Amino acid sequence: MAGTRKTITLDEKIEKAQEAVEKTKARYDAAVKELRDLLDKKDAQRKQELLKAVENSPRTFDEIMAFLKAEE
């Protein structure tokens, strides 16, 4: 005897597609949050590195600011 096939209605297909989209969006949102957090950490590290370089520089604050503002 042949097995019976369940007929999937259009509404059921739509519901499954919506669930898939919601799961994918949740994963996407989590990945975006993780990326933002990592970029924020990298930015903080770079700022700290820049601050240390300025503190250890023999140049004055005004000299450093003039250099940064100078146009090439």
pLDDT in tens, 10-53: 999 999 999 999 999 999 999 999 999 999 999 999 999 999 99
Over 70: is that where the pLDDT of 2 sits?
no
User: 67 CB contacts (<8 Å, ≥6 apart)?
Assistant: 59
Confidence of residue 4 (pLDDT cuts 50, 70, 90): low
Is residue 54 a contact partner of residue 64, using CB atoms and an 8 Å limit?
A: yes
Confidence of residue 71 (pLDDT cuts 50, 70, 90): confident
Q: How far apart are CA 22 and CA 16, in angstroms?
A: 10
pTM of the model: 0.67
